[in-house]
Amino acid sequence: MLKKQFKFEIIDYLNDKELNEIIKLELKQKNISNYSHDQLLEMNNNSSINFIKCMSNNKLIGYLIFFKSYDFYEIYKIYVNNEYRKLGIASEMISLLGNKDILLEVDSSNLPAINLYKKNNFYEYSTRKRYYKNGNDAILFKKER
Ligand SMILES: CC(C)(COP(=O)(O)OP(=O)(O)OC[C@H]1O[C@@H](n2cnc3c(N)ncnc32)[C@H](O)[C@@H]1OP(=O)(O)O)[C@@H](O)C(=O)NCCC(=O)NCCS
């Protein structure tokens, strides 16, 4: 059971503070696929792309970026600050997406993320060979409602 100190919220639009925080966190993630400043601005202005944020003591410690279609969601990014990992925060954000099919793709070398998705009942349905800039494959996962 997650501690009460964590507050989760689904939002359509990030305010400037939240957006800048996510831009900073994305830029720091050098070894996994990350979004640029311009991509994040564009996502924030796209009404089909929403966010889940996790706050602790007014600090943003985790987020999930997702595309919503009428019959499925696609997770674009999920991130939890280092010191708050392995507490169930990412799993909780996934569960907040609710009752639709969920799609995503992940770098085949990202074992924490692959384990996270398997633990949350996603299954592998395809692979894109050498999809990422680093030459790694992308694994496509799906969770059915
Ligand atoms: C992947 C990530 C979001 C997981 O967040 P988290 O809040 O720690 O995940 P949870 O606590 O909900 O973990 C659920 C399960 O995921 C798996 N998992 C999480 N971290 C793991 C790790 N470091 N090594 C192996 N498995 C891991 C475990 O099966 C875990 O269950 P358990 O705690 O019972 O063993 C986090 O490590 C992260 O932000 N990584 C950097 C960004 C990233 O790679 N995002 C995914 C690609 S977009």
Residues 108-135 pLDDT 10s: 999 999 999 999 999 999 999 999 988 9
Per-residue CA distances from 91 to 27, 44, 48, 62 (Å): 23, 23, 22, 11
For ligand 1, say whether the CB of 80 is within 6 Å of any of its atoms: yes
* pTM as predicted: 0.96
d(CA 31, CA 96): 27
CA 93 to ligand 1 center in whole angstroms: 12
What is the widest separation between alpha-carbon atoms in the chain? 42
What is the CATH topology of the domain spanning 6-143?
Aminopeptidase (3.40.630)
Residue 117 Cβ inside 6 Å of ligand 1? The answer reads no
Q: How far is CA 44 from CA 22, 23, 28, 134, in A?
A: 11, 11, 19, 27
Tokens of 13: 């639009």
